[in-house]
Chain A
């Protein structure tokens, strides 16, 4: 607390150098994290803009706001931008990049230059995607299903495919960097069982990125080749099997969901012990469940294809495996709940997001169980039920975790506090807006409204209006944090080294941290989450 006065003059990673070059050529993982933060926020608002247009179109049953083709492009690009340019890089490339080295007591990632390269790849991919959007867009759906994408669509499939291919490599490089860093760069005393669970979650995520992404890459290469050179691998006219595409595509794209959700779970696992003032319940169970999710996540892909024409028996196998992946997720939820038991809980903004995460993720997960039940899946797959389900997981889960994490570590990133009451208010709005947007979609799907519909029978209108109303509220909830984060960078209260009284190495260095993270290389002599040994901060305890 005495450090607060000195912070202004102290040299740290933000004020070390000025000028664009010092940012664009930086190899400091913290600066790269901020570069990522700016770029993914940009893409988030583009994707969000598409989402709002989609919702507006669906306000009325007739297709009146945009043309059918435009609508198809809107949902395609909403999906592609949000998934490949926001969700997948969101937590790993921003919070992960910032925190992984700090949490394990390293001065940077193992390959700082590869880290910068991955950002540039991301930007190249992003520019290609933007160019694609501006010059006409794609209308294949983010899933690129063949033979529509290879032979029938007359939009810019090749460009979008290449863009995602490049973005995939950016993601692979990030994963590679994390794995090597976690293996090689841990501070003395930072054993595997002392690692923060955030690190475990990122480790599992990186495995998926490394082993899943290339399959998507090669699949996209084949699609592009098929379009450009008329190779015939997926096209039934040339003797190919369109289902093979789906197999290869989902082999990556199902685990990709875990790329989005696992880091978010990691964030929640940091927040809950901190604001419950308790050790995490079942450290090993939570750590192992991350790895289990990464492994099982690869065994379930064909549950996206139960009605696609796969064999009866493989549907059975994939259904039963899909239940297996639910177990580690359930373990996590139970452990978080148990961590709160007899804790001393503060309702701060990050904690509210963590609550939101658990609630929405559980909702999403349980509806996932319905979807993996073969009998129910036949009815609700490819309807709004699925749309609602994956938004509960990806937006309700991943984005809630991301926002929670941003609030939790914002003092560390910027050295300033955000306005707490506004934070709580925004969290509440996001939660309400989210449920209002997506809960009606569960009902819609159950009633049988198929997804990707530009116009729909009039009996579905009431629920669609509710959903559109919710989405505007949600949009406000997302703009608010951006505004007050920007505001706080200049006017926020100056944060000290550890405003939450949190455990973890990242809280043991100044806020914002110096360029090489620690003045002296740290040595770890304590167990993770030693909340029994850390006093709760005074400011927070005064606040209700």
Chain B
């Protein structure tokens, strides 16, 4: 499993590489784009994910100790947190859609140019920011969806009592996966939302 996670690191790594290079070259546009994201939702989502990581960790512990009911409850909680995260992400994306910030033909960042006159914004570079934003959060959300699916499967068999203190490897592996997705978000949050939030001078 750890090997697979290593693979995943490089998978996201390619994106981080693209991000880093463009961020250095087009810092202004990235800063403006980052400002236009909703910090409140972003922070709430981070907290939601951290809570879900806690329930997962406690879930693995419950499995280790063979407490079936607790395990099922914790797994369901995790799924709820995961769905909450996706829901909030959906709200954010919808906002972006209304603001015409989705890259493509209808992309328009004129509002950013208007809102942040202090920053010099090039629209095509702004579009790169949002391309990366959607690519990275999209990929992350895809992993979350897979995670929710995986956990539904685990919950079903946990409820059936398949996992015992002697055999709980699937729970452990699912947990590792979930934590990994969480860690990716831990990095995405400051890199996408917190590029430059200091008061404009």
Show the binding face of A for B, using Cβ within 8 Å: 172, 175-176, 179-180, 210-215, 217-219, 221-222, 225-226, 229-233, 237-241, 244, 247-248, 251
Contact = CB atoms under 8 A, between A and B. Distances in A.
B183 interface: no
From DSSP, what is the main secondary structure of chain B's interface residues?
Answer: helix
A210 B17 contact: no
Interface stretch (B77-85, B87-95, B121-129, B160-168): B121-129
A218 B132 contact: no
Given A172-B7, A239-B127, A244-B22, 13 more contacts: A210-B3, A210-B6, A214-B7, A214-B8, A214-B11, A218-B14, A221-B135, A225-B135, A229-B103, A232-B127, A238-B127, A241-B22, A248-B18
Contact of A180 (B3, B8, B15): B3
Nearest to B103: A231
B13 interface: yes
B54 interface: no
B47 interface: no
B200 interface: no
B10 interface: yes
A248 B14 contact: yes
Given A230-B104, A231-B131, A213 B7 contact: yes
Contacts of B132: 233
B122 A239 contact: yes
B4 A176 contact: yes
Given A214-B14, A222-B18, A244-B18, A232 B124 contact: yes
Interface of B: 3-4, 6-8, 10-15, 17-18, 21-22, 26, 103-105, 122, 124-125, 127-128, 131-132, 134-135, 139
Contacts of A231: 103-104, 131, 134-135
B83 to A, nearest CB: 24
A233 B135 contact: yes
Given A180-B3, A239-B26, A239-B122, A233 B10 contact: no
Nearest to B8: A214
Leading 6 A-B pairs by shortest Cβ distance: A239-B124, A214-B11, A231-B131, A218-B14, A214-B10, A230-B104
Contacts of B3: 175-176, 179-180, 210
A472 to B, nearest CB: 41
Contacts of A212: 10
B7 A210 contact: yes
A117 B18 CA distance: 31
Given A239-B26, A239-B127, A229 B104 contact: yes
A519 B13 CA distance: 45
Nearest to B127: A232
B103 A214 contact: no
Question: By CB atoms of chain B within 10 A, which of A175, A230, A237, A251 has the most?
Answer: A230
A232 B128 contact: yes
Contacts of A226: 131
Nearest to B4: A176
Nearest to B102: A229
Contact of B131 (A210, A214, A219, A233): A233
A219 B14 contact: yes
Contacts of A247: 17
B3 to A, nearest CB: 5
Contacts of A179: 3
A230 B103 CA distance: 7
A238 B134 CA distance: 16
Contacts of B125: 239
B178 to A, nearest CB: 19
A215 B135 contact: no
Nearest to B126: A239
A250 to B, nearest CB: 12
Nearest to B125: A239
A212 to B, nearest CB: 7
A241 B24 CA distance: 13
B108 to A, nearest CB: 13
17 contacts: A172-B7, A176-B4, A179-B3, A180-B3, A210-B6, A211-B6, A213-B7, A214-B7, A215-B14, A218-B13, A218-B15, A222-B135, A225-B135, A231-B103, A231-B131, A238-B103, A239-B125
A179 B2 CA distance: 11
